[in-house]
Amino acid sequence: MHLFYASVVLCVLCACHMTTSTCDELLSSEDAEFCKGKLKVIYPDLVVDKCMIVPQRIREKISKEWGPPQIQLPSADEKKKYTLLMVDPDAPSRQKPSRAYWRHWLLVDIKGEALQRGDISAVELSAYTRPTPPQGTGFHRYQFLIFEQPEGQSLSLSPQENSSRGQNDVISGPLQSFPETGICRHLLRGLVWLDQWLQFSSSPKTTRTRTPPACCSTLTSGLHTLCGSFLSQF
């Protein structure tokens, strides 16, 4: 088992014919604010602890084979509980994100001591769904976010929120019920990685790839709008 990073940006290196472009070259300054901290997301045969683009062969495993990753945050307080949210702010596409912050996974009541070890057992409010960016929609960001739960409180979903994963409902709704400064006070770590659907022609000599957009567009809603510079403190 291997690890990811918490407030880092993970760009999934699809077998693109790109040069040594770094993740920083693909990310806006707002996105880059997520690239801090020590959160680790653990898939088989893959460790992501820095900004990177994941190879195509690995991307296919994430999209088609592997189940939910393990999550580790060594700095978690063993006496506290946490909430994990995985979202795609670019659904169904970066150009028209009408289903922005589509919810891929939602866990609550994660014990801090288990989060330290990366061996979490928690209440699953939204079952894990693999990242599968649609053909022709370019790069998608997949964000892993850890929230410290206020003492004595937990997140729950209404029937309406539970019936749809793509209405930005958890970020704009239940998480905002956390007290004091709401979502921002309790957002500890975030991880972003980029993925895209690639098409290869049948001819081995004419592999086609889709060029990543220039410096992936900025976050225009959701977490960055809510938290702004708060994220840069981590």
Q: Is the pLDDT at 233 greater than 70, yes or no?
A: no
- Cα 128 to its chain centre, rounded Å, is 12
Residue 28 near residue 217 (C-beta atoms within 8 A): yes
pLDDT band at 181 (very low <50, low <70, confident <90, very high): very low
Which pLDDT tens digit goes with each residue over 76-116? 999 999 988 888 888 888 888 888 888 899 999 999 999 99
Distance in angstroms (rounded) separating the CA atoms of residues 208 and 152: 53
Most distant pair of Cα atoms in the chain: their distance: 60
Q: What is the mean pLDDT of residues 134-150?
A: 82
**Residue 204 belongs to some domain of the structure:** yes
Q: Which two tokens stand for residue 146?
A: 């850890």
pLDDT at 78: 93
Distance in angstroms (rounded) separating the CA atoms of residues 29 and 41: 22
pLDDT at 149: 85
Q: Is the pLDDT at 7 greater than 60, yes or no?
A: no
The count of domains in the chain is 1
Residue 144 near residue 190 (C-beta atoms within 8 A): yes
Q: Which of 173, 179, 123, 194 is nearest to 148 (CA)?
A: 179
Q: What is the mean pLDDT of residues 113-132?
A: 91
Q: What is the mean pLDDT of residues 152-166?
A: 78
* Better pLDDT: 11 or 133: 133
Distance in angstroms (rounded) separating the CA atoms of residues 143 and 92: 15
Whether pTM > 0.85 for this model: the answer is no
Distance in angstroms (rounded) separating the CA atoms of residues 58 and 65: 10
Residue 127 near residue 84 (C-beta atoms within 8 A): no
**Residue 148 belongs to some domain of the structure:** yes
pLDDT at 63: 87
**Residue 12 CB contacts under 8 Å (≥ 6 apart), including other chains:** 53, 54, 58, 59, 62, 193, 194, 195, 196
Which pLDDT tens digit goes with each residue over 28-82? 666 666 666 678 888 898 876 666 666 777 888 888 899 999 888 888 999 999 9
Q: Is the pLDDT at 12 greater than 60, yes or no?
A: no
**Residue 223 belongs to some domain of the structure:** yes
**Residue 198 belongs to some domain of the structure:** yes
Distance in angstroms (rounded) separating the CA atoms of residues 141 and 68: 17
Distance in angstroms (rounded) separating the CA atoms of residues 234 and 220: 21
pLDDT band at 176 (very low <50, low <70, confident <90, very high): low
- Secondary structure (3-state) at 40: strand
Before 212, cis peptide (omega within 30)?
A: no
pLDDT at 107: 92
pLDDT at 166: 74
Which pLDDT tens digit goes with each residue over 187-227? 666 666 666 654 332 233 333 333 333 322 333 234 444 44
Torsion-angle region of residue 109: left (phi > 0), alpha (psi -120 to 50) or beta? left
- CATH assignment of the domain containing 38: 3.90.280.10
**Residue 4 belongs to some domain of the structure:** no
Best-predicted range by mean pLDDT (6-15, 120-129, 169-178): 120-129
**Residue 2 belongs to some domain of the structure:** no
Q: Tokens 């994941």 — which residue?
A: 54
Q: Is the pLDDT at 11 greater than 50, yes or no?
A: no
Q: Is the pLDDT at 171 greater than 60, yes or no?
A: no
| Residue 161 domain boundaries | 9-233
Q: Tokens 């070259």 — which residue?
A: 25
